[in-house]
Amino acid sequence: MSFSRECNVIFDKCVADYHITDNVDTKLNNPYESNTLQWHLYKKNWIDAVQWHLEDIIREPGIDPVKALEIKRRIDASNQDRTDLVEMIDSYFMEKYAGIKIASDATINTETPAWAIDRLSILALKIYHMKSETLRADASDEHRGNCSKKLEILLTQREDLSLAIDTLLNDIEEGRKYMKFYKQMKMYNDPSLNPVLYGGKNS
């Protein structure tokens, strides 16, 4: 099984597991061995699934402003958790390929393996929810038809992205590409860098 195929299997399983309760407060019950790459991939998708639904909830037109602020801060925390996990997965690849002899004409990729995997995780959620729209009994035939076309595009996108990830990893293994990643260094969550949090001017 290719690496991208393994990712897709894990992501699809996680999305299905989340929708057993379909509740943003459901506790993570990771079925994989703790701290393995598979465990981190499952956790990554779970974070994405919860955040996906928080983003839906916060868009309710009549939502209480206090509840909306609570959810917004929860989304901010989730984004930080997501970023930290992506960087952890990239650290795994950096360590795995540390001994690879890099070709003199090797090039760097526009994104790291883990950030491409991040997009693959989101695609699993898009595919699940778009497929649900194609099956909605209360929707019009036109709506279901439009969603079916969008679903086909999403599935093709997953095939292309999966191939690109496998190709990138193979190129790194063969020394044709090399890894170099920069931490996101998000400033707004850091009390020492956000002027509002450390008491400076908001400018």
Q: Which of 112, 99, 92 is nearest to 164 (CA)?
A: 112
Angle between helix axes 37-57 and 65-96 (nearest 10 degrees) is 160
Q: Which of 116, 137, 155, 129 is nearest to 15 (CA)?
A: 129
Average pLDDT of the segment spanning 172-179 = 95
Q: How many residues does the chain have?
A: 203
pLDDT value at position 203? 46
Contacts of 186 (CB under 8 A, 6+ apart): 79, 80, 83
Q: Which of 54, 42, 55 is nearest to 16 (CA)?
A: 42
Q: Range with the lowest mean pLDDT among 24-28, 47-51, 107-111, 130-134?
A: 107-111
pTM of the model: 0.89
Using one digit for the tens of pLDDT, what is the confidence trace for 102-138? 999 999 998 999 999 999 999 999 999 999 999 999 9
pLDDT value at position 199? 76
CA dihedral (185, 78, 35, 5) positive or negative: negative
Q: Tell me: pLDDT of 143 over 50.
A: yes
Rounded CA gap, 62 and 46, in Å? Answer: 27
Rounded CA gap, 12 and 41, in Å? Answer: 11
Which of the four pLDDT bands, split at 50, 70 and 90, describes residue 8? Answer: very high
Q: Tell me: pLDDT of 201 over 60.
A: no
pLDDT value at position 198? 74
Average pLDDT of the segment spanning 159-169 = 98
CA dihedral (50, 130, 22, 37) positive or negative: negative
Rounded CA gap, 30 and 118, in Å? Answer: 18
Q: What is the chain's Cα-based Rg?
A: 19
